[in-house]
Structure 1
């Protein structure tokens, strides 16, 4: 649940602050900066399609880990490079958001057996991260004099946790569930 909470928080944070970042880094007005936000949606779609193709050859956990690491790299660039290219990096993060929600969902409910309904419901409720994490991003920006670049540390840290979850899923795959009513040895 934490991985899903943090993913939704990271996605909303990256998208919610794209226009402010573009205005700050590119010295442009809101209308011009909105182009960057529109571009994030196209990047998201492309990243999702590529991830779907990759998951035919690799495990979903591995794709999630790779995408997460690449998102971290782009977020670090966004934070550290003080020019308009940081905005392009922030837009590029959207490429690596595409597979996260369904992949985290699938990895989490896999093997829950009879508890799949409850687990799935809890995962859906974790979208509240999209209302929580951007608050921290805004507070960090305010605490640093409105520095939007520094605020992108919040989604970066979210992706560190997501990558850790993906690695855990690769190392410790869940055992297959026994059919309902089956007797298993303890």
Structure 2
């Protein structure tokens, strides 16, 4: 029986209800992969920082190029997905991401930081296409009332990818690099194998998704006489875009500096390869929190859950800033648990009741992911200027805004 789902535009899903489960299951592999790839940057940053003798600001250019792609590519990606459809858009994104991974090989061969940054931009461009296609697709496949819960559940598999990635990076990158005295060429070459493996996995997924039979979503213009209201005229959407900006920026900034923070003699004094394993607790907490949050938000208003998590995250970062040793280490790692539901909850709250402007609103939110480029760069500047510990005041401010959005900013006009 064909179903019709209204997500703003008239949305028709040419599939039976039974196929929704299969479609959502298939999409979880995409969430896993882009979580895995994004978290691998947290390993790449300390590694390339050592290879090229970078300061914190220069090292954060890795995140600047990666998340800058979201800002530059989101709009054309939206047009591409609109033209090709969600499934072909997903395949295209996987192919582009695979090409980005392959470009790590010549970047390492040339020992060029600029080429590494270029490869990351191409890789992130492919991930952006996946985000633009998969997030609204998950939102559309089911009851609109449980969209937050459904997107949170699939995002949990994104967190599974971020939990696994540190072990992968620690074994294949940091432990190899620290296992012997290597010259610059050998240090750079360490990243070749991991990213060639990722290219192969992405290529395989592209092939699989090109063959899968998934529900087809057709967006059509609503037959409404009055002009379509711009998404930017909705206060809760605009404030939600700011919330996405600061959330992604704060989460990425913390993750990017975890290896260095845990390596501080006043915290844990861990070697890079050992510290990388602990990053899994940060991202693993996000995974656990998303499963819990998916259940909690069936009973508790999403805005209240968001505000509570933001308050707890801010408090834990402040504890980490003001303490040393095990307390500082576990406080900063525990932030991941409360980051868990933030992205999917903000995303779905911001898109509520946008009507025909939903797709435009989704594009605005994807543009806001550029916070992952800007805020880590500013925290890198702070770390160079006032010290690593004090630089974490920036994520605290980010969580303060998210607290406001959960309590007030997400309310409908």
The question of a shared fold, defined as TM-score above 0.5 by the shorter chain, is answered with: yes
Distance apart, 1:12 and its partner CA: 0.3
The equivalent of 2:304 in structure 1 is 62
Separation in structure 2 between the aligned mates of residue 154 and residue 45 of structure 1, nearest angstrom: 24
8 Å CA contact 1:18–1:87 kept in 2: the answer is no
The equivalent of 2:377 in structure 1 is 135
1:9 and 2:244 equivalent? no
Of 352, 361, 368, which aligns to 1:119?
361
Where in structure 2 are the equivalents of 1:61-100 lying within 5 Å?
61-100=303-342
Of 396, 402, 413, which aligns to 1:156?
396
Separation in structure 2 between the aligned mates of residue 51 and residue 149 of structure 1, nearest angstrom: 30
The equivalent of 1:174 in structure 2 is 412
Separation in structure 1 between the aligned mates of residue 344 and residue 336 of structure 2, nearest angstrom: 15
Distance apart, 1:167 and its partner CA: 0.9
Separation in structure 1 between the aligned mates of residue 326 and residue 261 of structure 2, nearest angstrom: 9
1:100-150 deviation line (CA, Å, top 9, x unaligned):
111101111102111111111110111110011001111111101xx3221
Tell me the TM-score normalised to structure 1 length.
0.88
Separation in structure 2 between the aligned mates of residue 51 and residue 66 of structure 1, nearest angstrom: 11
1:44 and 2:282 equivalent? no
Distance apart, 1:85 and its partner CA: 1.8
Of 15, 20, 31, which aligns to 2:260?
20
Distance apart, 1:83 and its partner CA: 2.4
Please tell me whether Structure 1 or Structure 2 has the larger radius of gyration of its CA atoms.
Answer: 2
Q: With CA pairs under 8 Å and 6+ residues apart, which has the higher RCO, 1 or 2? A: 1
8 Å CA contact 1:22–1:84 kept in 2: the answer is no
Match of 2:340, SS state, is coil
Aligned residues: 171
Root-mean-square deviation (CA, aligned residues, Å) is 1.2
8 Å CA contact 1:107–1:169 kept in 2: the answer is no
1:38-95 deviation line (CA, Å, top 9, x unaligned):
2212111011111111101110000000000010110110111122321211110000
8 Å CA contact 1:10–1:158 kept in 2: the answer is yes
Which stretch of the first structure deviates more once superposed, 60-69 or 38-47? 38-47
Distance apart, 1:169 and its partner CA: 4.3
Separation in structure 2 between the aligned mates of residue 18 and residue 153 of structure 1, nearest angstrom: 15
1:147-176 deviation line (CA, Å, top 9, x unaligned):
322111111110001111111146xx326x
